[in-house]
Amino acid sequence: MTLLRYEDWTSPVRPVRREVLSVVPDDATEPPVLFVPGPAFGAWVFAEHWLGHAAGRGFPAHALTARAEGGLREYAHDVVQVAAALPRQAVLVGHGVGATIVARALGRYPARAAVLVSPVLDRWATLRHALTVNPAGTVPAVFGGRLRLNGRQVTADERVRPARLPSLKNPDKPVGDPPVLVVGSPDDKVVPRASLDRTAARYGGAPLLFPGMGHDLMTGDGWAEPIDAVLDWLGKELL
Amino acid sequence: MSDTPGVADRRDAVCVIGAGASGLTAIKNLREQGFAVDCYERETSVGGAWNWRHDRSPISSSTHLISSRPLTEFPDFPMPDDWPDYPHHSQVLSYLERYAEHFGLGEHVWFGTEVVSAVPVGDGRWDVTTRSPGGGAERTQRYAAVVVANGHNWSPRMPEIEGEFRGRFLHASAYKNPAILRGRRVLVIGGGNTGCDIAVEAAQQAAEVWHSTRRGYWYAPKYVLGRPADQVNAVMLRLRLPLWLRQWLYKRSVATSAGDLTRYGLPEPDHRPYETHPIVNSQLVYYLGHGRITAVPDVARFDDAAVELTDGRRVEPDLVIAATGYRPQFEFLAPELLDLTEDGRPDLHLHAFARRHPTLAVVGLLQADSPALFPLAHWQSVAVARWLRLRTADPVRAAAVQQTESRRPLEQWSRARVMPTPRHWFEVSSTDYLKVLDELLKRLEPA
Ligand SMILES: Cc1cc2nc3c(=O)[nH]c(=O)nc-3n(C[C@H](O)[C@H](O)[C@H](O)COP(=O)(O)OP(=O)(O)OC[C@H]3O[C@@H](n4cnc5c(N)ncnc54)[C@H](O)[C@@H]3O)c2cc1C
Ligand SMILES: NC(=O)c1ccc[n+]([C@@H]2O[C@H](COP(=O)([O-])OP(=O)(O)OC[C@H]3O[C@@H](n4cnc5c(N)ncnc54)[C@H](OP(=O)(O)O)[C@@H]3O)[C@@H](O)[C@H]2O)c1
């Protein structure tokens, strides 16, 4: 909880045009869900399957592309802006670095619930892990440059961009005390299993695991199982 | 307490009075702490003062915020970042409406329902009696706590001026749009933000304008160094500049924009910057400099068609608007509950907690500098909700917190020594006040 927010008061984040893709069911019965990809991906990564699927289950579904230039503060600002513009209190679902963005946004916006998918909260553990599978793509990131994911780590797609890994050592406690779920795969080639456990423990739980899948649970053949599990969990939490 | 016939027991529910900005944030934060809430609002919609449809709304058609967006918004629900620095009152209302909708607050509000009394019945519980504002049947319900958020900018404080005035004499709260100024000779009394706003509008509309103030003020511009003034002020606070240095810089910024205020016929301020509630108005000095406004001293008496001023001058306006502020009003509470003094000044811990009634609190009874009221009312209501939660969850620790709190000395939560006029009863330095709330919140943290 931060009451004195000099940074926001003295240098407010500059507004940008934001790309938001949405699939909204005609008869929404559930709260809106805002999907937040990391800057390596864009809203497109959720538009492929998860948006439509969530909407099919009654959740107005939105995905936000990270702004071109910016750090964690600007990314989280955009998430809170988009969430607050939705008609009802939103569920935030972040993936990869997007989960880090969501973790930060949770300190500023009382989400209805939050889901951290393959979260990259633990920057060094991620880099160590990624080095073993993709040294060439990872070394620049160790020195503050961009991480270039390869085909062993995520489904190959020319839209995946190299991106910086921001660090968020101690995210603010989520405001409004929302339920938080951590989801991942023990076979993720970006985020190690131990790091999933640590992130889940920080939010008072254990991760929900999908063995045999990669870092990007929302693409590839197995995309339906994790999103269904997430929506089932939401269904129970939002009762 | 045993059952009382005719009183519906709402058990652990909390009663919130008013659905303006303070009431809405109280509902939200009480709900977040798991409380059932019944909010009563005499009007038929949310927004309080910012809802121009409300008969008691003090705003006029051209009111814009004087605090800039980042220092005005609730800390957990920002205004759209593409809004201007100083949004129009209609934007503020739409912001409050969206806040209510977003968090589903409307379903906890009983609109068109006025609270006529709240009476302690022992054991910390309250009997709250309501009815529709026009009258009608009364209904009494019992609550675990009462949070008062009835606002303090709606009951006009009229100056007592001897003599009779032949022209029109109104309080600023009745001023809704500039049409009534057109072509008139207008005298505006009062140098608060309302008086300055109306004087500027009169300068644009009226035939002749006198602005009467009983002292000199520090008229801050809306922009300093190309930034909203409160954002520049926040830079100074962030750098922890001492008060004297901030006062000196404030004087410099007035000196480099308006210059010597006495050149415009204004009296020299009889106090230092920050010792009266900040005035933010870039145009007043501009119109003084164009001769569209004439600065005059306090009013001595009315004399038929004329108004005599304390310097002996006589002016003949056909409209006098008293922008002399508002008085707090708690007509539904017995005076001793808030330790009201003879002249109606409440004595509350942190301007929020009733000293002898741990389940009675007031939210929004503050005159903030910057950040402005919404964030302060938010954190006040978080503290109230946590306090009420701790009382039920851990009575022993709650008693300990009450012990330490009750020993805190009476303070003004304001670093500067503000002028002792009634409008400064609730004046706080926002950042000092937030620091104190922060400490309280830490003590209220569940073990
Ligand atoms: C002209 C003007 C301009 C202002 N500009 C700014 C600004 O720029 N920035 C800023 O931060 N603040 C500004 N303020 C201060 C403003 O008062 C606050 O921003 C805010 O509106 C206060 O909210 P509130 O909820 O405490 O009170 P209100 O908005 O007054 O709401 C109180 C509500 O309680 C209801 N109520 C009262 N009594 C009862 C009862 N007995 N039963 C049921 N319901 C009841 C009322 O109908 C009302 O809806 C301005 C004030 C004025 C007068
Ligand atoms: N644009 C905006 O956002 C805006 C516009 C208007 C108001 N507001 C806010 O609304 C609140 C109320 O403002 P307000 O201007 O209506 O009232 P206010 O701040 O109480 O100011 C009242 C003014 O009238 C003077 N006064 C009081 N009684 C008097 C008397 N009997 N004779 C002569 N002068 C007298 C006061 O002088 P002293 O200095 O001696 O006390 C002061 O100058 C404030 O928080 C203000 O910031 C905001």
* CATH number of the domain within which B270 lies: 3.50.50.60
Gap between the Cα atoms of B245 and A206, Å rounded: 53
B114, B40 Cβ separation under 8 angstroms: yes
Are residues B183 and B124 located together in one domain of the fold?
no
Gap between the Cα atoms of A165 and A162, Å rounded: 10
Rounded to two decimals, the ipTM of the complex is 0.96
Listed by number, the residues of chain A in 15-44 with a beta carbon closer than 8 Å to a beta carbon of chain B are 15
- Confidence (pLDDT) at A169: 78
B350 C-alpha vs ligand 1 centroid, how far in Å? Answer: 19
CA B232 to each of CA B206, B222, B236, B250, B259: distance values in angstroms, whole numbers, following the listed order: 34, 10, 7, 10, 19
pLDDT digits (tens, 9 = 90+) for B64-86: 999 999 999 999 999 999 999 99
Place of tokens 């330490």: B404
Are residues B84 and B125 located together in one domain of the fold?
yes
- Confidence (pLDDT) at A137: 95
Closest by CA position to B288, among listed B255, B266, B312: B266
Nearest by CB to B104, from A88, A110, A177: name it: A88
Closest by CA position to B308, among listed B217, B215, B216, B212: B212
B190 C-alpha vs ligand 2 centroid, how far in Å? Answer: 6
Strand-pair category, A113-117 with A91-95? parallel
pLDDT digits (tens, 9 = 90+) for A169-181: 788 999 999 999 9
Q: Which of B304, B322, B340 is at the close of a domain?
A: B322
Residue B270 pLDDT exceeds 50: yes
Is B46 part of any domain? Answer: yes
Are residues B16 and B150 located together in one domain of the fold?
yes
Are residues B82 and B222 located together in one domain of the fold?
no
CA B65 to each of CA B279, B300, B372: distance values in angstroms, whole numbers, following the listed order: 12, 33, 10
Closest by CA position to A118, among listed A213, A201, A53: A213
Paired with B209 in beta bridges are: B186
Are residues B18 and B112 located together in one domain of the fold?
yes
CA B425 to each of CA B87, B301, B333, B366, B418: distance values in angstroms, whole numbers, following the listed order: 28, 27, 19, 8, 9
- Confidence (pLDDT) at B3: 61
Which residue segment(s) compose the domain that B299 sits in? Answer: 168-322
**B101 with A87: Cβ contact below 8 A:** yes
Would you say the CB of residue B281 lies under 6 angstroms from ligand 2?
no
CA–chain centroid gap for A210, Å, is: 17
Closest by CA position to B321, among listed B341, B338, B299: B299
Q: Which helix (H) or strand (E) holds B438?
A: helix B430-444
% of residues, chain B, pLDDT over 90? 89
B93 phi-psi bin (left φ>0, alpha ψ -120 to 50, beta other) = alpha
Q: Would you call B173 helix, strand, or coil by DSSP?
A: helix
Nearest by CB to B231, from A10, A108, A110: name it: A10
Q: Which of B322, B357, B384 is at the close of a domain?
A: B322
Are residues B330 and B388 located together in one domain of the fold?
yes
Domains of chain A listed by start with CATH number = 6-123+168-237 (3.40.50.1820)
- Confidence (pLDDT) at B408: 75
Would you say the CB of residue B253 lies under 6 angstroms from ligand 1?
no
Q: What is the mean pLDDT of residues B85-97?
A: 98
A94, A103 Cβ separation under 8 angstroms: yes
The verdict on A10 touching B (C-beta cutoff 8 Å) is: yes
Q: What is the mean pLDDT of residues A140-149?
A: 93
Are residues B431 and B412 located together in one domain of the fold?
yes
Burial class for B19, CB neighbours closer than 10 Å (0-12, 13-18, 19+): buried
Residues B336-366 as b or e (16 or more Cβ within 10 Å = b): ebbebeeeeebebebbbbbeebbbbbbbbbb
- Confidence (pLDDT) at B410: 63
Residue B407 pLDDT exceeds 80: no
- Position A172, amino acid: D
Q: What is the mean pLDDT of residues B168-175?
A: 96
- Confidence (pLDDT) at B2: 46
**B101 with A88: Cβ contact below 8 A:** yes
Is B228 part of any domain? Answer: yes
Gap between the Cα atoms of B200 and B215, Å rounded: 18
Q: What is the mean pLDDT of residues B281-306?
A: 96
Q: What is the mean pLDDT of residues B259-265?
A: 90
User: CB within 8 A of B108, min separation 6: which ones?
Assistant: B16, B27, B31, B37, B38, B39
pLDDT digits (tens, 9 = 90+) for B339-380: 999 999 999 999 999 999 999 999 999 999 999 999 999 999
Are residues B178 and B125 located together in one domain of the fold?
no
Gap between the Cα atoms of A90 and A238, Å rounded: 11
- Confidence (pLDDT) at B1: 44
Are residues B101 and B185 located together in one domain of the fold?
no
Report the mean per-residue pLDDT for chain B.
94
Is B79 part of any domain? Answer: yes
**A6 with B438: Cβ contact below 8 A:** no
Q: Which of B322, B345, B379 is at the close of a domain?
A: B322
**A12 with B81: Cβ contact below 8 A:** yes
Are residues B144 and B37 located together in one domain of the fold?
yes
- Confidence (pLDDT) at A1: 80
- Confidence (pLDDT) at A220: 83
Gap between the Cα atoms of A145 and B398, Å rounded: 51
The verdict on A4 touching B (C-beta cutoff 8 Å) is: yes
C-alpha distance from B82 to closest chain A C-alpha (Å): 6
Is B244 part of any domain? Answer: yes
Structure tokens at A109: 């916006």
Is B161 part of any domain? Answer: no
Would you say the CB of residue B63 lies under 6 angstroms from ligand 2?
yes
Are residues B23 and B141 located together in one domain of the fold?
yes
B256 C-alpha vs ligand 2 centroid, how far in Å? Answer: 25
Three-state SS sequence of B317-358: CCEEEECCCECCCCCCCCHHHHCCCCCCCCCEECCCEECCCC
Which one-letter DSSP state was computed for residue B275?
S
Is B406 part of any domain? Answer: yes
Q: B255: pLDDT confidence band, cut at 50, 70 and 90?
A: confident
Strand-pair category, B306-309 with B314-315? antiparallel
- Position B128, amino acid: V
C-alpha distance from B105 to closest chain A C-alpha (Å): 11
Is B163 part of any domain? Answer: no
Least CA distance to B28: which residue of chain A? A176
Are residues B13 and B148 located together in one domain of the fold?
yes
B195 C-alpha vs ligand 2 centroid, how far in Å? Answer: 7
Is B2 part of any domain? Answer: no
Which atom, in ligand 2's list, is nearest to the CA of B324? Answer: 24
Number of domains in chain B: 2
Verdict on whether the full-model pTM lies above 0.90:
yes
DSSP letters spanning B232-258: HHHHHHHTT--HHHHHHHHHHHHHHHT
- Confidence (pLDDT) at B409: 67
Taking the CB of residue A160, how many other CB atoms lie within 10 A of it?
20
